Amino acid sequence: MTLSERDKKHLWHPLTQHKINPDHLAIASAKGAVFTDEKGKDYVDGIASWYTSMYGHCNPYITARMKDQLERLDHVIFSGLTHEPAVKLSELLVEILPEGQEKLFFSDNGSTSVEVAIKMSLQYHFNRGEHRNTIVAFDNGFHGDTFGAMSVSGLSVYNGPFEDFFLRVERIPVPDGRNNEAVIDRFKAFLSSGKVASFIFEPLVQGAAGMKMYDAAPLEQLMEIASAHGVLNIADEVMTGFGKTGTLFASDQLRIKPDMICLSKALTAGMLPMAATSCTKEVYNAFLSDDLGKGFFHGHTYTANPLACAAAIAGIELLRSEDMQENISRIRSLHRDFEARISPSPLVKNTRRLGVIFAFELDIEMERYGNLRQKLYDHFMAHGAFLRPLGNTIYILAPYVTTNEQMEVLYSAIEAVLDKGGAL
């Protein structure tokens, strides 16, 4: 019995309707930007396995640091105790995070980093004697799958059965240059109630919405208005963080800096689950009190796991290296050239790129997870390109170490669709 056949006996996969898609490809190994299935076929990981393995799979620099850590301290509770990997990681993160981020709370994944930020923002006002029970978020944003994170997300494909159980959230459109004034007016109307605790957003790129990109200036206006009303600004950098937008963090491209930042995915280079929620000293100080109940009583069993911290430290060191920054610049240049190659095609619309992220819409109607989208996915896999279209949005967010030849595998697989006129 093959691994794929054994998989069907007990496993339930994410984002999957198993009656329609019962089969799952068995992956045997991975190295750099490539993973290999049980039959020996290679695939270029064009999305860095959901934007995590940015320095390549099984990166020897990172795995060596993890092995060294494993021999000294594997795990220890983080309530009442601390350890060197967590302290060092906190120092490194505060050093590279946007100005004003001073404190870090560790958790397990992107959803929990958002959950922590939401709870912090609500309790921040509670501790100060204010009852603020509302959060403002963008339409079509995505912030995770736990209940608080779902509440502030705006994609019904994920949220449908659960919406009756959500936190109180008001939504505004993403400013696109034509609706900026209307968005600002609506935002001010929500804030005038005095009930808004925080404003959460994916800075510059809405990932799950289809790598939708927007300008910094209107976001800065909204953040300024929020601050003027005592509302905390939460930047969800789970997807955008650690170099993907061309700067270490997308918030580095904002004149106004957030009060809180959510981090995960590339934080540990895809090695182990971990997340961090950072905040300003002002936010942290609102929890300091002789009253025990004003502390932040939230915890995860694997908070600040030493192995995950070791992976994160090594990843940050690689990110800041000259070689990795040159790789980022190289892929940005390749994307620019590829955009010029495919833009003349009548099937290509709305090309966009930021840092190592490249995306466009295929001018064909298709459901987000429908049959035509599945055919597109199967086409890419047949060409050795692991790309996961979001409906008719095709995007690339490959590891920084992806070679020019490997990038061409991704580009050629996309061009083959265009050459066929989209006939899959």
196-216: per-residue pLDDT in tens? 999 999 999 999 999 999 999
User: Using CA atoms, how far apart are residues 323 and 329, in angstroms rounded to an integer?
Assistant: 10
| Nearest-angstrom CA–CA distance, 102 and 259 | 10
- Where does the chain hold its CATH 3.40.640.10 domain(s)? 73-319
- Supply the pLDDT for residue 422: 65
On whether the pTM is more than 0.95, the answer is yes
Q: End-to-end CA distance of the chain: give it in Å, rounded.
A: 31
Q: Which CATH class is domain 3-59+322-419?
A: alpha beta
pLDDT, tens digit (0-9, with 9 covering 90-100), for 253-277: 999 999 999 999 999 999 999 999 9
Which whole number is the average pLDDT over 75-80? 97
Contact partners, residue 374, CB within 8 Å, separation at least 6: 21
Distance of CA 315 to the CA centre of its chain: 16
Who's near 258: CB < 8 A, 6+ residues apart? Answer: 98, 100, 203, 223, 233, 234, 235, 251
Which pLDDT band, with edges at 50, 70 and 90, does 155 fall under?
confident
pLDDT confidence of 178, banded at 50, 70, 90?
Answer: very high
Long-range contacts of 190-194 (CB under 8 A, 24+ apart): 190/134, 190/136, 191/136, 191/225, 191/226, 191/229, 191/231, 192/229, 193/134, 194/132, 194/229
Averaged confidence pLDDT in the chain: 96
Q: Region 294-311: what's the mean pLDDT?
A: 97
d(CA 135, CA 359): 29
* Burial class of residue 161 in the structure, from the number of CB atoms within 10 Å of its CB (0-12 exposed, 13-18 middle, 19+ buried): exposed
Mean pLDDT of 75-102: 98
Range 73-319: architecture per CATH: 3-Layer(aba) Sandwich (3.40)
* Tens-place pLDDT, residues 184-197: 999 999 999 999 99
Residues of the chain with CATH 3.90.1150.10: 3-59+322-419
Residue 104: name the closest of 348, 238, 241, 304 by CA.
Answer: 304
Instruction: Give start and end residues of each alpha helix (H) in 97-133.
Output: 110-127
Please spell the DSSP secondary structure of 9-21, one letter per residue: HH---TT--TTT-
AA identity, residue 289: S
Whole-angstrom Cα distance, residue 140 to residue 144? 12
